[in-house]
Amino acid sequence: MPAHRNPWILRAGAAAALAFLVACGGSPREGGTPATLSPAAALGDRIFQDATLSASGMQSCATCHSPDNAHAPANALPAQLGGPAMNIQGTRQSPSIRYLATNTPFHFEKDGTPSGGFFWDGRARSLADQAGGPFLNPAEMAMPSKAAVAARLAAAPYAADFRKVYGEAIFTNPDQAYLCMTLALQAYQQEDAGFHAFTSKYDAFLRGRARLSAQEARGLALFNDPLKGNCAACHPSARGADGAMPLFTDFTYDVLGVPRNPAIQANADPAHFDLGLAARPAGDLADRADLYGAFKVPSLRNVTRRKVFFHNGYFTSLRDVLTFYVQRDTDPAMWYPLNPDGSVEKFDDLPAKYRKNVNVTEVPYNRKPGEAPALSDAEIEDVMAFLAALVDGFVPNGD
């Protein structure tokens, strides 16, 4: 996916250092996932699958983060349905929760770059904090209180295991029981190999156990090339300095100007805008006008398995996503509505005063209408072939 380096500071040379990666080597550093989960993680596994912890009785963590779909939704809804009757639509698509174990709490790097945090707006500080959000969200699992969740836990088939891990009296303190539930879910995500498998063809390539096809290799070169896709600027494709396998995200934020999605019910109100990072509930960044419209850079691992893309689920085709990246500025009428005077209402999902935040300085966005896009249609196909090599579950066969 063509890159979206953050617009607050240009990290000169970062993409160039990753360009045209052709070698492999170094020992993998992938966390040493235990063959058997710890008692807390095993408990987290059962909680993750438990739909009785929702007001509807029909929604679990796995409903929106299906293990069979790279821990992302199994459907193509722009935002999932939830609530007591499962008829309330959210306002953002549910992202994959794989490859998050090394993420950090939200912070500003020394150069001013916003980084880290969980959810699209970085509001959660940890996997546990993130795990606790959906249970009480009225548009998701919609439980009325932590005490109500604790009561369901106390009645669950695994309640005895919960007491064994966290103490016989744990359910006498609902807030503590709720916290322990989130810690169990965090342990599950940290320990279960499915959340950080590193078993794609590209991982095998980096280990010297597979070769990329000619098209995949061309796609990798375009992905890394700072003058073409420039994807690696925000989705690093090289091993870390410590030998860690690449996560294909730098956990930063960008303002991309994704088109407004009419399939999001909240967007029926023309005054409604999802403004991302600066508008998150805590209000701690409300005075940062430059951060309105910024959303988290997701990992591109397993991206070809996703059914919707971007925070608002506007796109349902990866090819369209790539085309948008490289033709957003060369042919804006393809993506945005027309004003009454025939002009294009570019970046229509942002209030006019924040449209200046959209990244228009970095490749492939540094184009004008009528100019050639950074990638041709054939080159987009090559990048898509490479992205398909990021899907977990590859079995080397001597190719």
pLDDT tens-digit readout, 99-111: 999 999 999 999 9
Domain that residue 168 falls in: 1-27+38-399
CA dist., res. 352 & res. 356, Å (int): 8
The mean pLDDT value for 280-308 works out to 98
The mean pLDDT value for 282-290 works out to 98
CA dihedral sign of residues 332, 338, 343, 349: negative
What one-character-per-residue DSSP string does 217-267 give? HHHHHHHH-TTTT-GGGTS--SPPTTSBPP-S--SBEE---PPP-TTSGGG
Closest CA to 357 of 280, 295, 299, 308: 295
CA dist., res. 383 & res. 373, Å (int): 14
The mean pLDDT value for 5-27 works out to 35
Assigned domain for 5 exists: yes
CA dist., res. 300 & res. 93, Å (int): 15
Q: What is the CATH number of the domain that holds 115?
A: 1.10.760.10
Assigned domain for 112 exists: yes
Q: How many CB atoms lie within 10 A of CB 164?
A: 13
Q: What is the pLDDT of residues 49-88, one digit of tens each?
A: 999 999 999 999 999 999 999 999 999 999 999 999 999 9
Band of residue 175 on the pLDDT scale cut at 50, 70, 90: very high
By three-state DSSP, how is residue 90 classified? coil
pLDDT of 145 higher than 70? yes
Do the strands 253-254 and 81-82 form a parallel or antiparallel pair, or are they unpaired?
Answer: unpaired
CA dist., res. 309 & res. 313, Å (int): 5
pLDDT of 48 higher than 60? yes
pLDDT of 1 higher than 50? no
Assigned domain for 32 exists: no
pLDDT at position 7 is 43
Calculate the average pLDDT of the chain: 92
What one-character-per-residue DSSP string does 273-284 give? ---BGGGSTT-T
Q: How many CB atoms lie within 10 A of CB 113?
A: 18
Q: What is the pLDDT of residues 227-268, one digit of tens each?
A: 999 999 999 999 999 999 999 999 999 999 999 999 999 999
pLDDT at position 156 is 98
The mean pLDDT value for 212-237 works out to 98
| Torsion of the alpha carbons at 48, 53, 58 and 64, rounded to the nearest 10 | -40
321: tokens are: 């996503």
Alpha helices in 54-126 (DSSP H): 61-64
Q: How many CB atoms lie within 10 A of CB 139?
A: 17
Band of residue 3 on the pLDDT scale cut at 50, 70, 90: very low
CA dist., res. 58 & res. 225, Å (int): 46
Band of residue 143 on the pLDDT scale cut at 50, 70, 90: very high
pLDDT at position 200 is 98
Based on its alpha-carbon atoms, the radius of gyration of the chain, rounded to whole angstroms, reads 22
Helix axes 174-191, 159-166, angle to 10 degrees: 90
Question: Residue 337 gets which letter from DSSP?
Answer: P
pLDDT of 2 higher than 50? no
Which residues make Cβ contacts (< 8 Å) with residue 12, sequence separation at least 6? none
Q: What percent of the chain has pLDDT over 70?
A: 91
CA dist., res. 260 & res. 132, Å (int): 29
pLDDT of 30 higher than 70? no
Longest Cα–Cα distance of the chain, Å, equals: 70
Asked whether the beta carbons of 165 and 181 are under 8 A apart, the reply is no
Band of residue 323 on the pLDDT scale cut at 50, 70, 90: very high
| Domain count along the chain | 1
Q: E-strand spans in the chain?
A: 81-82, 88-89, 107-108, 114-115, 253-254, 295-296
pLDDT at position 34 is 52
pLDDT of 24 higher than 90? no
For the chain, percent helix, then strand, then coil, each to nearest 5?
A: 35, 5, 60
Q: What percent of the chain has pLDDT over 90?
A: 90
pLDDT at position 35 is 61
Assigned domain for 195 exists: yes
pLDDT at position 5 is 42
Assigned domain for 33 exists: no
Closest CA to 94 of 117, 74, 108, 110: 74
Backbone angles phi, psi at 37, to 5 degrees: -70, 150
CA dist., res. 107 & res. 31, Å (int): 24
